[in-house]
Amino acid sequence: MLQASAEDWNRGDLDAFLSTYLDSPETTFMTGPGVIHGLQTIRERYRANYFKAGGLPPQLLRFDQLVVRPLGPDYALATGRFILTERATGAAAGSGNFSLVLRRTAAGWRIIHDHSSSG
């Protein structure tokens, strides 16, 4: 699921990338500036920060050190690193750690909380 979301990002398909998040006002995304609530607000943040140049983000995304641990039958914790590289040159553009709380739904596993930090 997470590897497919990175492929969606790299194709410039923001909606497919965000389909891994639960479409709920209770879904949260924590970053340096604070907590963002709801999928639409999360979408606006990604569009403003990464998908602003006609839909194709200037950086390619990949995940590394991905570990998923069950927290019961319907919840899991995923941790790892995100790595961004410049699409045009392949140069390092940023990286950081993340932790995701996932919930099993009728449509599959969805992110209900994302805590990502650069560095």
Across the beta sheet with 108-118, what order do the strands follow? Answer: 34-37, 28-31, 108-118, 92-105, 75-86, 59-70
54-71 pLDDT, tens digit per residue, is 678 999 999 999 999 999
State residue 54's pLDDT score. Answer: 65
The CATH number covering residue 67 comes to 3.10.450.50
State residue 52's pLDDT score. Answer: 78
Which domain covers residue 82, as residue numbers? Answer: 2-118
pLDDT-derived band of residue 32, with 50, 70 and 90 as boundaries?
A: confident
32: how many CB neighbours lie within 10 A of its CB?
A: 9
Number of domains in the chain: 1
Tell how far CA 18 is from the center of its chain.
7
Q: Give the three-state DSSP class for 32.
A: coil
Average of pLDDT values for 20-34? 93
State residue 5's pLDDT score. Answer: 96
Q: Mean pLDDT of all residues in the chain?
A: 94
